[in-house]
Amino acid sequence: MSNFYVSLSHEPAAASWGANAKLSFVEGGAVLHLPDSGLNLRQIQKSTRKIGALGVENIEFVGDWDAEQQWAFATSYCGAGFKGAITWCKNADESDLKTRFSAMQFTRRLVNETPEELSPESLATEAAEWIHSLAPEHVTTRMLTGEELLEAGWHGIYEVGRGSCRPPVLLELDYNPTGKPDAVIDFALVGKGITFDSGGYSIKSSEGMLDMKCDMGGAATVTGALGLAIMQGLKKRTKLFLCCAENLISDHAYKLGDIITYKNGVTVEIVNTDAEGRLVLADGLMAATESGALKIIDAATLTGAAVMAVGKEFNAIFSLDEEFQASFLASAAKVHEPHWRLPLMPWHQEQCASPFADTANSRPVKGGGAGGASNAAGFLSRFVGNEGKGWVHIDLAAAYNRNGTELMPNGATAIGIRTIADQLIG
């Protein structure tokens, strides 16, 4: 199939296309009409979605495009099931664009897989195999599965996943380009890997459950980010922790009223089995803290409250470390990925009180009540060391769109992988 050529123009479209038209068509392609100044990325994305509706597969950029303009087009064009090809402008940025595209497509494909295809074990395996393929001489992995989690003290992942016949998994991957076994660990990445979330006994509605294959978006995002950073020349030792489980109902599933005692001694009463992401992340954050990593970033499709707060175009950011949070948001601005800060204070740890344990895993009201995203972040802060210094939590409100939006195609977005990769490399 021939390529569909896309070019930019700072001239207005012909009057026949309508007043103030931002998009026109020529033989074999389309022209995006932009103002004279600025990258105009949002306008590019809106025009891209209109081109995408035509069913064109192979796109070729022609003329004078900035790398970020090409990237904005590609991210808005290549939705679930995309089988076409992108031909980038022949310039110094072409190689980096190809690298970004590879990482984005891996991340999106993983999130878009069906829950039957992607079990906790296969999620951990696919992530490990991809990272290993990028730097086989620098990568080692360890997977704890099923009962092995109990023996190692990782009770959160085990409890959430024990209702499924497909066992839960904690993947620990060590990328160590230094070759020194005692090298400092600069970063630890922690990802929520719930391959399907029924809500457990706090069962979701059919509508709410439909797209819960995307509830492992955190694991996909941190894996995609690490892979991208490696392809861009990462020299820092980085560990990856994926907390993988299916949250299902069975005669062996965890229940409301259960109490989990974590490895650090914190006891947690279960008041909502659908607040499971924070339960598995708690183990991952403790493992990351135990590793001695200087900085920890976790990512999770954690709360509907974050979506209510920032919409589905932004990811929400939480931290008790002002300097690290500012650095992270600077990376987000640099790579044009939308992230927004939401409140987190030490007292958010106390917002989910329990008369039977140190804390509950949520509040026993719909959606966790007011401030639910901050309260979830407060819960997580119990499981990182150094009073939260060196830790950033990402609630991935912008991770997935079932039917697409005016800016993004259907399925996973992979928003966040470039920001995290910039932090790793910077």
Say which of 42, 46, 204, 263 is annotated catalytic.
204
**Domain residue spans in the chain?**
4-91, 106-425
Spatial CB neighbours of 396, under 8 Å, sequence gap ≥ 6? 217, 218, 221, 299, 300, 301, 302, 306, 315, 415, 416
pLDDT digits (tens, 9 = 90+) for 62-76: 999 999 999 999 999
pLDDT (0 to 100) of residue 19: 87
Spatial CB neighbours of 237, under 8 Å, sequence gap ≥ 6? 174, 175, 176, 177, 178, 183, 184, 185, 186
Q: Please return the burial class of 306, using the count of CB atoms within 10 Å of its CB with bins 0-12, 13-18 and 19+.
A: buried
Q: C-alpha distances in angstroms, 312 versus 396, 401, 418?
A: 9, 8, 18
pLDDT (0 to 100) of residue 81: 86
Verify whether residue 278 is a known catalytic residue: yes
With both helix axes pointing from N to C terminus, report the angle between 94-112 and 417-425 in degrees, rounded to the nearest 10: 130
Taking only the tens of pLDDT, the chain with its 426 residues reads 689 999 999 999 999 999 899 999 999 999 999 999 999 999 999 999 999 999 898 999 999 999 999 999 999 999 998 999 999 998 879 999 999 999 999 999 999 999 999 999 999 999 999 999 999 999 999 999 999 999 999 999 999 999 999 999 999 999 999 999 999 999 999 999 999 999 999 999 999 999 999 999 999 999 999 999 999 999 999 999 999 999 999 999 999 999 999 999 999 999 999 999 999 999 999 999 999 999 999 999 999 999 999 999 999 999 999 999 999 999 999 999 999 999 999 999 999 999 999 999 999 887 788 999 999 999 999 999 999 999 999 999 999 999 999 999 999 999 999 999 999 999
Angle, alpha carbons 357-363-369 (nearest 5°): 160
Per-position b or e across 225-245, b if 16+ CB within 10 A of its CB: bbbbbbbbebebbbbbbbbbb
Structure tokens at 113: 């897989």
* Three-state DSSP class for residue 90: coil
pLDDT (0 to 100) of residue 92: 78
Residue 188 main-chain phi, psi, to 5 deg: -125, 130
Structure tokens at 223: 């894996």
pLDDT (0 to 100) of residue 1: 63
CATH 3.40.50.720 is the classification of domain 106-425: no
Spatial CB neighbours of 351, under 8 Å, sequence gap ≥ 6? 363, 371, 374, 375, 378
Say which of 278, 363, 382, 418 is annotated catalytic.
278
Mean pLDDT of all residues belonging to the chain: 97
pLDDT digits (tens, 9 = 90+) for 354-390: 999 999 999 988 778 899 999 999 999 999 999 999 9
Q: Is 352 in contact with 363 (CB distance < 8 Å)?
A: yes
Distance from C-alpha of 253 to C-alpha of 271, rounded to nearest angstrom: 14
